[in-house]
Chain A
Amino acid sequence: MAVDAEAQFHVLAVDDSLMDRKLIERLLKTSSSFQVTTVDSGSKALEVLGLKEEDQTSTSALSPQHNEIEVNLVITDYCMPGMTGYDLLKKIKESSSLKDIPVVIMSSENVPSRINRCLEGGAEEFFLKPVQLSDMRRLGPHILKGKHKEQQQLHQEENSNTNHTIMGSSNNNNMSNKRKVMDEEILSDRTRLGFSSSSLNLI
């Protein structure tokens, strides 16, 4: 069964400006059939990602039964009151459950030291505002790379666990099963289309 890989990708957009949230959502939905969730602060973003307030400083991984949705990419404004985009980036990268999610930072200011700091902090890209449709094309490779890392992690977990349940089994861990099925289909799509792991291009 052919799976539309793009339609499954979920992007979390973070910006304190309503106008900018509206813009980024339209850009994301227009360029690819991404599923988009927008929030107005870093702390709300962490909630959506499944890091509860008290866990935000720890590196504990939460089980899927918590109020969490799967996010394949986070795109965040840099300048926000309270938690900045950089702060959010650091929290994501310091979390064992979230560190493989690619993060992109947006800013209206072209400050080289800021850009470097973000990239060194683990951001995949730095977009200058106003963000353009052409910028959206740069997201694909990072999303696929993130999926690949997640796939590897899941395979590692599988190897240490002899219980290979994929479809149709009664299992209370439905979320991770669903993810596994999606990932295996994506992996087979990628192999079929001949993508190399070093250069992934999503048109």
Chain B
Amino acid sequence: MALASHRHISSCLCSIHSSLCYSTRPEMERSSLQRQLANLKKSLFDQGNLDEQFDQLEELQDDASPNFVEEVVTLFFRDSSRLVANIEQAIEKSPRDYGSLDALVHQLKDSASSIGAAKMMKECTVFREYCDKRNLEGCLRSFQKVKKEHSTLRLKLENYFQLLRQVGPAEKATRSGN
């Protein structure tokens, strides 16, 4: 694996040129982290978890607001978790109030659109269509998909912000796919 061979090379160099190593080893680790970060970002976009709205958020981040994107994403997951829990309650209630259910899914979709959570938006749209038709089975199926995407996105983004922190504040992840 590329990572292992990098570590091997760098440790060999260290035994010969220790002063040189002092400046190259952190750099090598850093560039490997940068690559991981770029790959994760690319995967988020290629897999359709995120769209260009997320890029918009990153454009709004600067020295005055250095953690803006993570703060917004944190707020998103706070709102979305609450909504998912409310949807869970509403969907199990009997008799089912499809109007209220639809309103909750609508709120979730709007929230998702603010951070560019494209897949979540799509799943919510399908969910709303089933609400419209009062199709319980369809609702349950699409709700499962919404919850799955919610978890996946949360995991990927937690990873993403952790990598960002490791790479260092001066670093900005490259654009999706570039």
Q: Would you call A2 an interface residue if the criterion is a C-beta within 8 Å of the partner chain's C-beta atoms? A: no
A133 in contact with B114 given A19-B75, A22-B72, A26-B65 (CB within 8 Å): no
The answer, yes or no, to whether B142 is at the interface (CB within 8 Å) is: no
CA of A129 to CA of B65, assembled, Å: 22
Interface residues of chain B, those whose CB is within 8 Å of chain A, are 53, 56-57, 59-60, 62, 64-65, 68, 71-72, 75-76, 79, 110-111, 113-114, 116
- Residues of chain A from 10 to 33 with CB closer than 8 A to chain B in the complex: 17-20, 22-23, 26-27, 29-30
**Considering only CB atoms and an 8 Å cut-off, how many residues of chain A contact the other chain?**
15
> Which of chain A's residues have a CB closer than 8 A to the CB of B111?
17, 19
Q: A129-B110, A130-B114 are in contact. Are A22 and B56 (CB under 8 A)?
A: no
Choose from B60, B62, B71, B79 the contact partner of A27 (Cβ within 8 Å). B60
Given A19-B72, A108-B110, A108-B113, answer yes or no on A132-B79 (Cβ-Cβ < 8 Å): no
- Give the nearest-CB partner of B59 in chain A: A133
A20 to B79, CA, bound (A): 11
- CB of A114 to closest CB in B, whole Å: 15
> A residues within 8 A CB of B75?
18-19, 22
Q: In the complex, A18→B75 CA distance in Å?
A: 8
Closest residue of chain A to B71 (Cβ to Cβ) is A22
- What are 26 inter-chain pairs, A to B, with CB distance below 8 A? A17-B79, A18-B75, A18-B79, A19-B72, A19-B76, A19-B79, A19-B111, A20-B114, A22-B72, A22-B75, A23-B57, A23-B72, A23-B114, A26-B60, A26-B68, A27-B60, A29-B64, A30-B60, A129-B110, A129-B113, A129-B114, A130-B113, A130-B114, A130-B116, A133-B56, A133-B60
Question: How distant is the Cα of A132 from the Cα of B62 in the complex, in angstroms?
Answer: 17
Q: Chain A residue with minimal CB distance to B74?
A: A19
Residues on the B chain within 8 Å of A23, using CB: 57, 60, 72, 114
Please indicate the chain B residues that have their CB under 8 angstroms from the CB of A132 in the complex: 56
Nearest Cβ distance between residue B94 and chain A, in whole angstroms? 26
Complex alpha-carbon distance, A99 and B152, angstroms: 48
Closest to A18 in B: B75
Which listed residue, B53, B62, B64, B114, touches A19 by the CB 8 Å rule? B114
The binding surface of chain A is classed by DSSP as helix
B53 — which chain A residues lie within 8 A by C-beta? 130
Chain B residues near A108 (CB-CB < 8 A): 110, 113
- Can you name 16 extra interface pairs (CB under 8 A) apart from A26-B60, A132-B56? A19-B75, A19-B79, A19-B111, A19-B114, A23-B60, A23-B72, A23-B114, A26-B65, A27-B60, A108-B113, A130-B56, A130-B113, A130-B114, A130-B116, A133-B56, A133-B59
Q: Which residue of B lies closest to A128 (CB)?
A: B113
Shortest Cβ gap from B140 to chain A (Å): 25
Per-residue interface assignment for chain A, residues 121 to 133, with 1 indicating a CB less than 8 Å from any chain B CB and 0 otherwise: 0000000011011
Max chain A C-beta neighbours (<10 A), residue from B60, B62, B116: B60
Instruction: Note all chain B residues with C-beta closer than 8 A to A18.
Output: 75, 79
Task: Give every chain B residue within 8 A of A27 (Cβ-Cβ).
Answer: 60
**What residues of B have a CB within 8 angstroms of the CB of A29 in the complex?**
64
State the CA gap A132–B71 with chains docked (Å). 18
In the complex, what distance in Å separates the CA atom of A108 from the CA atom of B109? 10
Bound complex: CA A17 to CA B59 (Å): 21
CB distance from B115 to the nearest CB of A (A): 8
Q: How many Å lie between the Cα of A163 and that of B70 in the bound state? A: 55
Chain A residue nearest to B109 (CB atoms) is A108
